[in-house]
């Protein structure tokens, strides 16, 4: 489903009026259109299901030297932005780290970053960004052993409500061996702190 920019323009204009402002004054005249174009960009991931994202970035290659295929692949600190679905507020300084234990298919490292970026471009929950990424990476690589670590600031916590600037939220998603093997889990968490 494509994002309906006309409807966004109309509703943003309505919000400006509801706030008591004049949507026709110079500074606000173009605002509904700017917001509509911004939403189209920052919510681009809403156009695709997880399965479609898996297909878009699902190009894998076979490991030639199969002796090392069990070694962990770990990409740390992919920077993304997202918007919380409870307040439509920005989640910022978000860093996503993805690990998996390859079976026979490897995914290009830049593809992992693209998957994280696209999943974040939705109205999201931090935990669900983790489960969405784990699902897609697992589908693409054929490996059940996937972990996703995320840290972020939520502007709905830092700029409103309890106003606790500097409060970071950490979430972990462990699948397969990462869920059951505590040694592996600790190794990953240790790597993530460096
Ligand atoms: Zn929120």
Distance of CA 106 to the CA centre of its chain: 21
Q: Measured in angstroms, how far is the CA atom of residue 119 from the centroid of ligand 1? A: 17
How many helices (H) and strands (E) would you count in the chain? Answer: 8, 7
Q: Measured in angstroms, how far is the CA atom of residue 144 from the centroid of ligand 1? A: 31
Residue 171 has a pLDDT of: 97
Q: Measured in angstroms, how far is the CA atom of residue 86 from the centroid of ligand 1? A: 5
Residue 65 has a pLDDT of: 59
Residue range 7-30, pLDDT digits in tens: 999 999 999 999 999 999 999 999
Confidence of residue 193 (pLDDT cuts 50, 70, 90): confident
Mean pLDDT on 92-118 = 95
Q: Measured in angstroms, how far is the CA atom of residue 15 from the centroid of ligand 1? A: 19
Task: Give catalytic residue positions.
Answer: 84-87, 126, 154, 156
Query: What are 169's strand-pairing partners?
Result: 152
Residue range 56-100, pLDDT digits in tens: 998 888 766 555 556 899 999 999 999 999 999 999 999 999 999
pTM comes to 0.92
- Count the Cβ atoms, other than its own, within 10 Å of residue 103: 15
């Amino acid at each position: 489903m494509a994002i309906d920019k006309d409807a966004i323009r109309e509703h943003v204009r309505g919000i400006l009026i509801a706030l008591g402002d004049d949507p026709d004054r110079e500074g606000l005249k173009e605002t509904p259109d700017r917001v509509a174009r911004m939403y189209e960009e920052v919510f681009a991931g809403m156009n695709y299901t997880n399965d479609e994202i898996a297909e878009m970035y699902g190009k894998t290659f076979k490991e030639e030297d199969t002796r090392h295929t069990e070694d962990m692949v770990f990409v740390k600190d992919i920077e993304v932005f997202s918007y919380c679905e409870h307040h439509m507020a920005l989640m910022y300084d978000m860093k996503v780290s993805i690990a998996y234990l390859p079976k026979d298919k490897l995914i290009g490292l830049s593809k992992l970053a693209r998957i994280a970026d696209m999943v974040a471009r939705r109205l999201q929950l931090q935990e669900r960004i983790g489960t969405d990424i784990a699902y897609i990476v697992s589908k693409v690589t054929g490996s059940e052993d996937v972990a996703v670590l995320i840290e972020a600031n939520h502007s709905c916590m830092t700029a409103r409500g309890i106003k606790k600037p500097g409060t970071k939220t950490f979430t972990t998603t462990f699948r397969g061996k990462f869920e059951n093997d505590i040694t592996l889990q600790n190794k990953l968490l240790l790597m993530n702190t460096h």
